[in-house]
Amino acid sequence: MTLVIGVVVFILTTQQNDESQPQATNGSVASQPSDLSLQRGAERSTNAANVVTGDEAAYLSWKERVVETLIRRNDADSLTAAALMLYSLRNPPDKRSLPQIIDLLSRASSLTPRDASIRSLLIAFCNVQSECDSAPHEDALRDLEPNNAVGWLVTVLRADKNKNNTMLRGSFGAMAQCDSFDFHWVENIHRLERAVDSVRAPPPDSIAAPNYSRLRDEIVSAGMHTMPFPEFLPLLNLCNSTTDPSMQAQCLGAGTAMAKGDMILAQMAGLTIAANSVPSSSIEAQRIAEAQRQLHWLTQGPVKNWQLEPSDLSRSPPELTREEQLLRRRLTELGSPSQPPAGWRK
């Protein structure tokens, strides 16, 4: 799971001033799909999700059997894992599967209505399916986790898109009062990993020597690479363009919450929003710059553009629920410092 921070920072710092600036995709410059965020796929190598081998079709058939087995189990974890697998079976994802994915997640949520991690997935997938109304899931997530700004993100984006200033100020103000930004990304990947480990769907006869480790790693890696998230760019543009002091204060609050996110991409976006909301010479600006330097080190410091692999998650203790924690742990395992030395700059 490589986050090419150099590309991300370029996007976050330049696109705010030019909405026509093309979006980075797979490490190159291309137009931004309107239904994905500053996509995780744009910051990750797709090699693990797009393995080209002579038996790729046979392994795809095997994965489809795993999905069918998970659906038949009909418990919340299995249905959620099946939904994630359906979206990541092909690269790029086949969006014709979205109605079934949302149905599976809805069934899972009905079985465990107090599970915030499934609600966050429903918000994300509804955001890429125009026929799906994410509002009930946003309400539910805000009820379950009132301090989680993710519950307000799509509401803010919707208000901004519809030019509803009253809704925008209300929802953005609420988002600014939150103190976390948790998509439950690590938790849901762990869920996928556990479900796949528990399934022994029979492989197709065409696979002479079935490799369960390869099957598992390809499934988990693809899930890590393709999970959709609401876009952050409208927030960046909104906060970069406002001169209203009250809106600037909301931008600082929202950016601060995002900077505490469970994904580095959200943290970087939040830090950029916060940095644009404070005087460049202020103590707060210095604090933000140091936080950005710390994140740059994790992906662009001693080891350039390395990836978190499925094994990094399977070996991680359950208390590590943030991408940043996993990156620091991996650096430590590699014998590299997890903190940048004084004076280091990317």
Average pLDDT on 111-138 reads 95
**Model confidence at 38: pLDDT above 80:** no
Taking residues 290-308, report their average pLDDT: 80
Q: How many other CB atoms are there within 10 angstroms of residue 260's CB atom?
A: 18
Say how far apart CA 58 and CA 61 lie, in whole Å: 5
The pLDDT tens digits of the residues spanning 202-231 come to: 888 888 888 888 898 889 988 888 888 888
CB neighbour class for 316 (10 Å; exposed up to 12, middle 13-18, buried from 19): middle
Least confident of 118-132, 160-174, 285-299, 321-335: 321-335
pLDDT at 275 exceeding the cut of 60: yes
Name the pLDDT band for 192 (thresholds 50, 70, 90). very high
Here the tokens at position 16 are: 């705010």
More confident residue, 330 or 181: 181
Contact (Cβ atoms closer than 8 angstroms) between residue 215 and residue 63: yes
Distance CA 307, CA 130 (A): 32
Say if residue 265's pLDDT is above 70.
yes
pLDDT at residue 240 is higher than 50:
yes
pLDDT of the residue at 313: 76
What mean pLDDT do residues 323-327 have?
89
Contact between residue 234 and residue 161 where contact means Cβ atoms under 8 Å apart: yes
- The pLDDT confidence band at residue 304, using thresholds 50, 70 and 90, is low
Torsions phi, psi for 29 (to 5 deg): -100, 125
Q: Does the pLDDT value for residue 5 go beyond 60?
A: no
DSSP state of 329: H
Using DSSP, state whether 211 is helix, strand or coil: coil
pTM: 0.81
Select the more confidently predicted residue: 200 or 74. 74
Residue 251: pLDDT band by 50, 70, 90 thresholds? very high
Position 299: which residue type? T
pLDDT tens digit string along 145-188?
Answer: 999 999 999 999 999 999 999 999 999 999 999 999 999 999 99
Show the tokens assigned to 263: 């994904």
Q: What is the pLDDT of residues 47-94, one digit of tens each?
A: 444 444 567 888 889 999 999 999 999 999 999 999 999 999 887 888
Query: What is the token pair recorded at 71?
Result: 């659906």
Yes or no: say if 86 and 101 are a contact pair by the CB < 8 Å rule: yes
Q: Per-residue pLDDT for 98 more than 90?
A: yes
